[in-house]
Structure 1
Amino acid sequence: MAPARSLALAVGIAVVLGLGGLAAPKWLLFLVTMALSHGLAVLGVVVLTRGGGATFGQGMFFAVGAYAAALLPQAFGVQDALLRVAIGTVAAGVVAAVFAPLLARYRGIFFAMLTLALSMVLFGLLSKSSALGGSDGISVARPLLFGAEISGERADFTLYLLTVACTVAAGWAVTVYWASAAGLLARAVHGNPLRVEYLGASARTSLGTSFVISGLLGGLGGAITALVLGHVEPNFSNWTTSGEFVFVAVLAGYQSVAAVFVASLLLEVVRSFSNLYFPNTWQLVLGAFLLLVILFRPAGLGSLWIRKK
């Protein structure tokens, strides 16, 4: 799809979601907002998977973005929501760039276990840091948007619109990246990194780039989640959070950006209603659903509307 056409489609989706939010109740706004913010982190997992990597540590970037957005008001007096989201995203991207040269040397399970190790190191540091609230985490100050405090009856809708805007922008950027030369090279690295090296391209550089993009998306999702929840905690970096992101990535597949957010929304819906009606067995419902997808749609939900070329 041409960039101009995909941009028009992205703007159309943003308008539809924005108008739909006007009529949605608060509980639905919150559910969709959380699904989109978590979907951004999952999109990072999908980008890395499509680029030849496998991660069990996406929670690290999610936590970095969340804590950065939470600490900015008290540390530097930055209260604007857009700035906090942007800085949280960049902070996670910087962390990814620091470790990318090391991790790009590995493949498969070794790459995945290293990402898990880094994520758990951060989890341990956050849990033991009294300055950051320890295992209880810290509260997040109310954000401002263009100088006005996001509060009152329309606070949920305002944060929803912010999330929609960030999600659509990130989704469009990833779509353009996948269609670019760098994105096609990343797809080739996923298929056969040795052949890519023989053709004169660097598989390590491509994988490192995918890792940094994954970090940026994880930080973006974490920063938005921090503003929406009003609280951050070390569990954002725990292996359980990373495992949830991988779960949704497997459910979505790596062929479609839209499938990532559909799968994330499905998870939030199933979890919410399963918690209500099956509080002790909701994980069983999720596991059975994932098993059915793997058996009948091994390429993920995205394969429903995208044919493999």
Structure 2
Amino acid sequence: MSRTSSPLQSVEVRLLFTGLVLAGAALVMPSWLMFLLTMALAKALVVLGVVIQMRAGLVSFGQAIFYCIGGYGVGMGAQSLGINDAFLLLLLGTGAALALALICGFLLTRYREIFYAMLTLALSMILYGVLVKSSALGSTDGFNVPPVSYFGWTPESGSQKLVSYLLTVALATGAGVFFHRFMVSSLGGITEAVRENEIRVEYLGLSPRWLLFANYVAAAGISAVGGGLTAMATGHIDPDMAFWTTSGEFVFIAILGGTGHVAAPFLGAIVFSVIRTFAIQEAPNTWQMTLGVVLLVLILFLPKGLWSLVAKNKKEQQA
């Protein structure tokens, strides 16, 4: 028993320790880096939703739909409903995303491969079109999100970024621990078995469709949390959160980090944010080409993502 539980506990301890280090680093971190990490960790939550679907053999090109719903749920809750508490706003956005996922999941889990990818993309673009045409929601410009409170406490304007960063780190750490438990659980293993051979999973008496449905809903929920955190960190939301290029960015980061570990999406998101920031600064007219070259090199030399370097180093140390 101890042999099987020890690796699980050690990974969780490392995740918690990393979260504490990131939180403590806020004491000496410049504000620009704090904002960069806040955005990277928030997007990493969405990428985590993409990754758990990829581990099941499905690639979502429309994960931005839940990212957008999470953001708009926070913005509309603050403006239209007068809710100011950050946690209630996140629950509102996540609840809306889960409700949509429960409906769409019945349709999407009937399809596989390119059909699944294109249907997820189509749903995301439908939401984008609705938001662009909605003048009440700011149309293409979107609208600003007012500063939020935390259990009745409203930070000063200079402390908003710090509190938003700490909240993002805490939720990212908690999500990492939760989804690591899911990935190493029997349910996570069966989900990967669905990717390899659905028929054999059915012979075990399990329904691949319902397993994929649960996977899809879980991915929607964590993606909405990432969208809500992004809305609170930036103080603005717009329809581009649902655009196809946003979904493509999440897939890019998933490929960049890899799917071998729950920490891979966070590693990929941070590396992606750093590369894009410096690429825009140094070559503002060709930064997309820089990202394309990075992805091409990665596919050629690290087909399993950046996390494969970490896994390889661990194997060499154990040997």
Structure 1 residue 147 and structure 2 residue 167: aligned? no
Equivalent pair of 1:51/1:206 in contact (CA under 8 Å): no
Q: Map Cα deviations across residues 116-149 of structure 1 (whole Å, 9 max, x no partner).
A: 0000000000110111111110110110012122
- Matched pairs, number: 309
Structure 1 residue 160 and structure 2 residue 165: aligned? yes
Query: 1:256 is aligned with what amino acid?
Result: H
Structure 1 residues without counterparts, runs of 5 or longer: none
Instruction: Give the secondary structure class of the aligned counterpart of 1:305.
Output: helix
User: What does residue 52 of structure 1 align with?
Assistant: 57
Q: Paired residue for 1:119, among 117, 124, 128?
A: 124
Equivalent pair of 2:55/2:195 in contact (CA under 8 Å): yes
1:203-222 correspondence to structure 2 within 5 Å: 203-222=208-227
Tell me how far 1:10 sits from its aligned partner: 2.9
Q: Paired residue for 2:236, among 225, 231, 239?
A: 231
User: What does residue 15 of structure 1 align with?
Assistant: 20
User: What does residue 91 of structure 1 align with?
Assistant: 96
User: What does residue 276 of structure 2 align with?
Assistant: 271
Tell me how far 1:305 sits from its aligned partner: 2.2
Structure 1 residue 192 and structure 2 residue 205: aligned? no
2-structure distance, mates of 1:275, 1:305: 28
2-structure distance, mates of 1:206, 1:233: 33
How high is the sequence identity, in percent, across the aligned residues?
43
Equivalent pair of 1:22/1:157 in contact (CA under 8 Å): no
2-structure distance, mates of 1:151, 1:194: 57
Q: Paired residue for 1:68, among 39, 64, 73?
A: 73
Equivalent pair of 1:52/1:207 in contact (CA under 8 Å): no
Structure 1 residue 42 and structure 2 residue 47: aligned? yes
User: What does residue 260 of structure 1 align with?
Assistant: 265
Tell me how far 1:4 sits from its aligned partner: 4.3
Equivalent pair of 1:119/1:239 in contact (CA under 8 Å): yes
User: What does residue 290 of structure 1 align with?
Assistant: 295
Cα RMSD between the aligned structures? Answer: 1.6
Tell me how far 1:302 sits from its aligned partner: 1.7
Structure 2 residues without counterparts, runs of 5 or longer: none
TM-score, length-normalised on structure 1? 0.96
TM-score, length-normalised on structure 2? 0.93
1-structure distance, mates of 2:45, 2:245: 17
Query: 2:40 is aligned with what amino acid?
Result: A
Equivalent pair of 1:256/1:306 in contact (CA under 8 Å): no
2-structure distance, mates of 1:118, 1:27: 34
Equivalent pair of 1:69/1:226 in contact (CA under 8 Å): yes
2-structure distance, mates of 1:97, 1:4: 32
Tell me how far 1:257 sits from its aligned partner: 1.6
1-structure distance, mates of 2:12, 2:306: 23
User: What does residue 114 of structure 2 align with?
Assistant: 109
Query: 2:108 is aligned with what amino acid?
Result: L
Task: Tell me which moved more, 192-201 or 41-50.
Answer: 192-201
Q: Map Cα deviations across residues 3-24 of structure 1 (whole Å, 9 max, x no partner).
A: 5444433322221111111100
